[in-house]
Structure 1
Amino acid sequence: MMQTIIASDTPSTAVPVQIDIRHVGKVFGGKGGDSAVIALDDVNLTIRKGEFISLLGPSGCGKSTLLGIVAGFQGVSSGKIEQNGRPILRPEPSRTVVFQDYALFGWMTVQQNVEFGLKAKGMAKRERAAIARELIALVRLSGFEDKYPHQISGGMKQRAAIARALAPDPDILLMDEPFGALDAQTRVLLQEEIARISSEAGKTVLFVTHGIDEAVFLADRVVVMSPRPGRVRQEVNVPLPRPRTAEMRSDPWFVQTVNELWETLKPEWQKGEEE
């Protein structure tokens, strides 16, 4: 069994803050006689450049809402959110999103899907093709460039979606339960892949999940959110070094932390199942 690891690779305070979330609240409804739903309440979180953050919590706690606000898909009801000191007001190429349902264009090949954002920016055909091939190799899909989405597996579709998200060279990669629709085996394999890819690409990652072991395995820091209205209730620094490898799942610190988080979250998940 591995020895418990106590050194941390979490970015130090010398690394600049890339995303600054201050007193953010989000309310849905409340107009025209509708009841207001408070999705987020006084959320505070800083994310440093190159940091991998897992947002963990039960369904309905506002994880995806917060990610959507960071993406610029929707605004805040109160508070503020900034990227590199500038307010986030709309989607921008510096932030790309990977969704659970792949969102690939079915009429395009893997190569064409990965090139899509680069073509939209007006990049020359030869240059964008070369970048796409590099990214397809990074996600280990070489040889499948000319396949269409219906010709490849779910795990391969998600790899292609990750490559497409990386193609515009964003500063921040936002991932909304990207492995939720996959079988358990494929999910574990892709967890190891995204841990490798994010390290090699050097991106800041905000990763939404309800899987405790997934959150701990991937992150530099696990941010645990409370049931609605969503608030940051706990932050856990993950001291496991990179690259993350399968044997780290048997590390005593990993096992203990996953168990402790499960005991903390279990009553809330059980309550959600009953409602």
Structure 2
Amino acid sequence: MAATSALVSQPYQGHAMTADPADIQIDIRNVGKVYGTKGQDNAVIALDGVTLKIRRGEFISLLGPSGCGKSTLLGIVAGFQAASSGQILQDGRPITRPGPSRTVVFQDYALFGWMTVQHNVEFGLKAKGMPKAERAEIARALIATVHLTGFEDKYPHEMSGGMKQRAAIARALAPDPDILLMDEPFGALDAQTRVLLQEEIARISSDAGKTVIFVTHGIDEAVFLADRVVVMSPRPGRVREEVLVPLPRPRTAEMRSDPWFVSTVNDLWETLKPEWQKGE
């Protein structure tokens, strides 16, 4: 890549940053994932030797072509599936199952269609046994945070895709998780709504101080949102490069025309274009 900043991408060599161990919230250690029986013809090696350390409060974008294992890695961090090899630690403890300290926002919103926005956002708080008045107050505040005030009593089918995704983000934030996991959450939206929600999640995540892992195959999106872009190779997925993003927060639309931003997006496109052209 062109050296357009002191903070530029670099070949991956285990991990691209060092930090006080107490600052590391997620420690991904040599993780592999095989579907099927390793060594047999039907085996699919989704991940191979992925190692990554993520600081508390850091926003990480996982970027790469379809099939590179981004969502698989996110699912292992979420506790939805187990690694075939290696391990993932959260605050020094192995992740073995889903937990309330990690919530997930999916591409398809995953809202409960029979519940209003208010009740969808309250759902996790109700499951924790929080009193009705308290959870209603928290839900209303989060609904305001994602700019859905006035839509508390609407059902998902009465809202646009962008509004449903705002509601899904509010629901994910309601239990006050330490870590927010986002699996291509804007992938099904139109271009204009996608840009608006990128700016929204950049604001919300910065204000909330959450650790975020954001899966995307959108280069512009990955660079705009992240503190660090982790570029993954085609299957089997490996971390092959990291890009440290020097842009200040809060992120604003004007930053998309910053020379460093433009150069970095273009360089990443040139790097990844051959893989996408292969249809990987």
Per the normalisation by structure 1, the TM-score is 0.94
Distance change in 2, residues 1:262/1:138 (3 Å): same
2:154 is matched with which residue? 147
The Cα of 1:30 is off from its aligned counterpart by 1.8
3-state SS in 1 of match to 2:279: helix
Cα pair distance change 1:128/1:74, threshold 3 Å = same
**Within-5 A mapping of 1:128-207:** 128-207=135-214
Q: 8 Å contact 1:225–1:233 — kept in the other structure?
A: yes
Q: What is the DSSP-based 3-state SS (H/G/I as helix, E as strand, rest coil) of the residue aligned with 1:189?
A: helix
Q: Is the 8 A contact 2:219 2:265 kept in 1?
A: yes
Contact 2:7–2:244 at 8 Å: present in 1 too? no
**Who is 2:77 aligned against?**
70
Aligned to 1:248: 255
Kindly indicate whether residue 232 of structure 2 is the aligned counterpart of residue 225 of structure 1.
yes
Q: 1:64 to 1:153 in 2, by over 3 A?
A: same
Counterpart position of 2:11: none
Identity in percent: 84
| Contact 2:148–2:163, Cα closer than 8 Å, also in 1 | yes
Does 2:39 match 1:13?
Answer: no
Residue 13 of structure 1: how far off its partner (Å): 2.4
Aligned to 1:263: 270
Partner of residue 30, structure 2: 23
Give the whole-Å Cα distance in 2 for the aligned partners of 1:94 and 1:86: 13
Aligned partner of residue 233 in structure 1, secondary structure: strand
Q: How far is 1:6 from its partner?
A: 6.0
What's the Cα RMSD here? 1.8
CA distance in 2, matches of 1:264, 1:5: 18
Distance 1:25 1:140 in 2: 40
1:101-153 per-residue CA deviation (whole Å, 9 max, x = no partner) reads 00000110000000001011111000000000111011111111011111111
> SS of 2:149's equivalent?
coil
Are 1:5 and 1:240, in contact at CA under 8 Å, matched by a contact in 2? no
Measure, in 1, the Cα distance between the counterparts of 2:235 and 2:36.
15
CA distance in 2, matches of 1:72, 1:239: 31
**CA–CA distance in structure 1, aligned partners of residues 5 and 246 of structure 2:** 6
1:52 correspondence with 2:59: yes
Change (3 A) 1:131 1:12: farther
The amino acid that maps onto 1:176 is D
Give 3-state SS (helix, strand or coil) of 1:272's partner.
coil
User: Distance in 1 between the 2:84 and 2:161 partners?
Assistant: 36
CA contact (8 A) 1:7 1:240 kept: no
Aligned-partner residue type, residue 19 of structure 2: T
Q: Which runs of 5+ in 1 are unaligned?
A: none
Deviation at residue 7 of structure 1 after TM alignment: 8.0
Amino acid at match of 1:110: V
Matched, 1:87 2:94: yes
Note the 1:209-220 alignment, pairs <5 A.
209-220=216-227
Give the 3-state SS of the residue equivalent to 1:192 in structure 2: helix
For 1:120, the equivalent position in structure 2 comes to: 127
